[in-house]
A and B are shown apart, each in its own frame.
Chain A
Amino acid sequence: MPLTEIGRYSLRRLEILDENGEVDPALEPDLSAEDLVKLYRAMLLAREDDQRMFKMQRQGRVGTFGPNTGQEAAVCGPALALSPRDWLVGSFRELGARLMRGEPLTHSYLFHNGYEEGNVFDGMERTLPISIIVGAQTLHAVGIAYAMKYRTEKDAAVLAFIGDGGTSQGDFHEALNFASVWQVPVVFVVQNNGWAISLPRSRQAHCATLAQRAIAYDIPGVQVDGNDALATYSAAREALDRARSGGGPSLIEAVTYRLMMHTTADDPRKYRTEEEVEQWWKRDPIPRFRRYLESKSIWDDAKQAALEAGIKEEIDEAVKKFESMDGFKPDAPFDHVFGTRHESIEEQRAAFLANLEGEA
């Protein structure tokens, strides 16, 4: 009765654009200048919008939110690989990807100011709203992918995001297993930003990488430099292409870093050092991408200035529009409890409206 080796596994890491903006020509994706600028703009918009929301939060003009600063490459790269026929299933730290899917800037202000209206926009059909229950959305993604397979939808797949902390949830493991058993077109991107609130990645999971979770579920897995937008794009592109052509699910671990607080209610000084944060600012995904564009002679200072001015104007206008919005229907929650009317709800609506008058 011999002891035999029955499996041997390996894992790869992808880096294309280094911290200085030097590209590996052998791995450089074939993206048009137009797409490259689109990606750069998306990252910068996400960064600037974050910074504006942060200011607004501190001034009490929006509520608690979780900044995506530092993670723009991890979300915008994969989002660039999406077609309108694909689904985006996010959690709560993918502002850049949401904007790329056509969500108006005003909507994250609305959402974070306590209005469901922030979840609703034209063209949202294949973009699920923010999912706050950590991990749950990965199972929804698998179900959507199953429906696509069942309907024999061609050339479409689901892109699902989750955080490093989220990989500890049973839901995440169930999602990988279901996706693998069903061989459905879904790509999971783990944004490993080093922290789940105060818990460092090393204490979230004992394993050296999160990409290796793929091995146990027998799906392709890869780790990428999550601050390298070319790597996140390329890995997602490859995985989505495989999914769209019937090749089943994949897992991508994007190693990135949350440069700001978990949410505006959090104080990271309690659990991490300034030095660590500074180290990661040196790996900021945005300046390196700009240097890459410059090295390809598709970018210069004048274009940068124009882009910054354009983004500022876009955000200014969105803020103005958001702050002039009013007339939120007070009894809207009664409209959407069920798809059918029931007298018990309608009686309560009437009581609610009468009470509103009583308060006035």
Chain B
Amino acid sequence: MAKMTMVQAINLALHEEMERDDSVIVMGEDVGVDEGVFRVTAGLHEAFGSARVLDTPLAESGILGTAIGMALAGLRPVAEMQFSGFSYLMFPQLEGHGSRFRSRTQGRMTVPLVVRMPYGGGVRALEHHSESREASYAHLPGVKVVIPSGPRNARALMAAAVRDPDPVVFMEPKRSYRVFREEVPEEPEIGQIGRARIAREGSDLTLVSWGAMMRPVLHAAEEVTSSRGASIEVIDLLTISPLDGSAIARSVSKTGRCVVVQEAPRSLGVASEVIAQINDRALMHLEAPVNRITGYDVVTPYFGREMGYIPGPGRIRRGIEETLDF
């Protein structure tokens, strides 16, 4: 066991997967010699050489389009988008082709690739470096969207994503990249895409979140537990699409109360779908309306204002209390 940051843990998974399978290719802007602007690809170029760790020209559509071709021809590319804010340049390739080859050919041609991208705010970065647009990718049938929340699950889910038979958008909460360490086991762990995790058990209220919001969410859960003895269950979604609706329903059926916390803008996001799942599967168990604590439907402010816009522990705590008191 070693204590690692999320950056180190994802890096470990990439090393392990490249070691295991020579069809795994890492590609993107500055992922080789520079080892990635966040150093997620550290050591890979040195270990596997420039035919397997490709510093590509600066073109996101080019990166994903060629990755799709590689995947069609039997390779397993792990393509990096330097920041999720630049990933929309590859959206047409993913929507128009990556997500569709399987259904287009009735399963004869498939696109097993991973698109990694740091996303989310709270790191005082320039425009386009702070957005949380997971819903845009989650809305593409044929694409899986995975969002780890900590080093250990990041390592396991990256391994699962590389082995997955379909395109996986792997969104890395950059705010959580280095802020904490976790024990990561020596032996490889393979996560399960499509499954949520109970991060904390409880019986009075279910908190649902994912990615970088898990830290303030767990913090708020602790606070409410110690201030008023409420028993809070916390669900970490880990996969945004396909969503683990039954895990959410099981928990909410037990607690009868739910708060969803999302960094992204309020409307038409993953929180909306979580609430819809509860409506479909657990409505009659509810003792209070489902509350959502979210960003706002505004263009992501530059970092001078961003902290007021990202849900923090105070807002989350008040949301929990409102729902408990309903």
Contacts and interface: CB of A to CB of B under 8 A. Distances in A.
A204 B55 CA distance: 9
A247 interface: no
A359 B128 contact: no
A115 B302 CA distance: 6
A168 B34 contact: no
B34 A198 contact: yes
Contact of A166 (B30, B58, B303): B58
B220 to A, nearest CB: 13
Interface stretch (A67-75, A144-152, A291-299, A325-333): A325-333
A266 to B, nearest CB: 8
B298 A334 contact: yes
A130 B85 CA distance: 15
Given A114-B124, A132-B127, A330 B58 contact: no
B63 to A, nearest CB: 10
A170 B29 CA distance: 15
A63 B312 contact: no
Interface in B236-271: 266-267
A134 B61 CA distance: 12
Given A168-B62, A198-B55, A334 B296 contact: yes
Nearest to B124: A63
B107 interface: no
Interface residues of B, number: 39
Instruction: Give the secondary structure class of B's interface.
Output: loop
B36 to A, nearest CB: 10
B188 interface: no
A271 to B, nearest CB: 5
Interface stretch (A217-225, A316-324, A348-356): A348-356
Given A197-B37, A198-B33, A359-B314, A337 B57 contact: no
Given A333-B301, A336-B299, 14 more contacts: A63-B125, A116-B302, A132-B126, A197-B30, A198-B30, A204-B58, A333-B296, A333-B299, A333-B305, A333-B309, A337-B299, A348-B297, A352-B296, A356-B308
Interface of A: 63-64, 111-116, 130, 132-135, 165-166, 168-170, 196-199, 203-205, 265-266, 270-271, 328, 330, 332-334, 336-337, 344-345, 348-349, 351-352, 355-356, 358-359
Interface in B62-94: 62, 85-86, 89
Given A332-B305, A333-B298, A333-B299, A168 B125 contact: no
Given A197-B30, A356-B308, A170 B59 contact: yes
A192 B312 CA distance: 43
B266 A114 contact: no
A160 to B, nearest CB: 17
Interface of B: 29-30, 32-35, 37, 55, 57-59, 61-62, 85-86, 89, 124-128, 266-267, 296-299, 301-306, 308-309, 312, 314-315, 318
Nearest to A328: B304
A233 to B, nearest CB: 28
Contacts of B306: 114
A279 B125 CA distance: 32
16 contacts: A63-B126, A64-B125, A111-B302, A113-B304, A114-B303, A132-B85, A133-B86, A133-B89, A169-B59, A170-B61, A198-B55, A199-B29, A199-B30, A270-B35, A333-B299, A359-B314
B34 A271 contact: yes
The listed residue with most B CB atoms (<10 A of its CB), out of A169, A328, A351, is: A169
A116 B127 CA distance: 9
A223 B305 CA distance: 43
Contact of A197 (B29, B128, B315): B29
B197 to A, nearest CB: 29
Contacts of A112: 126
